[in-house]
Amino acid sequence: MSAIPHPVDLSAKPEVTAFFDAQTNTVSYVVKDPGSKACAIVDSVMDIDYAAGRIAYASADKIIAYVREHELAVEWLIETHVHADHLSAAPYIQGKLGGKIGIGERITVVQETFGKVFNEGTEFQRDGSQFDRLFADGDSYLIGGLKAFAMHTPGHTPACMTHVVGDAAFVGDTLFMPDGGSARADFPGGDARTLYRSIQRVLALPPQTRLFMCHDYGPNGREIRWETTVAEQHEHNIHVRDGIGEDAFVAMREARDATLAMPRLIIPSLQVNMKAGELPQPDESGKRFLKVPLNTL
């Protein structure tokens, strides 16, 4: 993979509005073209009370209300990767506002892996066809008149993509805020060494590039934050700042990952998100059911 597949236009400054979901510590974004009403929505959240088996849409409805209030036109619903800690609201928002749902083309690897884990059977298509667009490394697209491009940044999952829109980059779970470091790399298909190299690719963007995180957990009790810069990551990131080499990162990441429990919502999240956020089909009575694979994850 080349370092940066397209020149970064730092003069293009998308208007970025963040929506923080406290239940999953997820940050969703509305990314607006400053020259038009066009926008993209990145990493939306569908609410679930897992203990009660109840789905709700309060988080997504906040985004929908914002889009309608500002009379925006949704052109894209971007998933930076198949999330293991929250359910995507992309199809719900698409039904209300339109737009195309896009994810990295390596979703097929995730679908193949977790199609087996959840015993999905032959009726589950593992070709990414549930999504409207599969992004390959270097693919570009438009949000109104604003050019965006996708960079493949695997390691957390095989399908992770960083989306660069003007002077802003949406990194998914490839990076956290500098005092948070980096995301785990021990899910099936994840790899700490691959993650380190992907992070270096992100950090090859211009120093003033704005970086937007998918999650923040407020380390050491600080207030929640989700925006930093490439320069700040180089100087301060506790896992990958300048001077920390690949082998040291891999040793740290693998040791740390060995201590982590599975995310609370990994079982419903993966089942739903690998299908572009679609809930399981109802049975003859109209009820929908999620599966719980035992002794598998």
Taking 60 as the threshold, does the pLDDT of residue 158 lie above it?
A: yes
What is the residue type of 52? A
> Rounded distance, CA 220 to CA 165, Å?
31
* pLDDT for the residue numbered 122: 86
pTM over 0.85: yes
* pLDDT for the residue numbered 203: 97
At 57, the pLDDT band (50, 70, 90 cuts) reads: very high
Taking 90 as the threshold, does the pLDDT of residue 1 lie above it?
A: no
| 160-211 confidence digits (pLDDT tens) | 999 999 999 999 999 999 999 999 999 989 999 999 999 999 999 999 999 9
* pLDDT for the residue numbered 140: 97
Taking 80 as the threshold, does the pLDDT of residue 2 lie above it?
A: no
Q: What is the DSSP string of 22-73?
A: TTTTEEEEEEE-TTSSEEEEES--BEEETTTTEEE-HHHHHHHHHHHHTT-E
Lowest mean pLDDT among 60-64, 93-97, 113-117: 113-117
As a whole number, mean pLDDT of residues 106-118 equals 95
As a whole number, mean pLDDT of residues 124-129 equals 95
> Rounded distance, CA 128 to CA 272, Å?
13
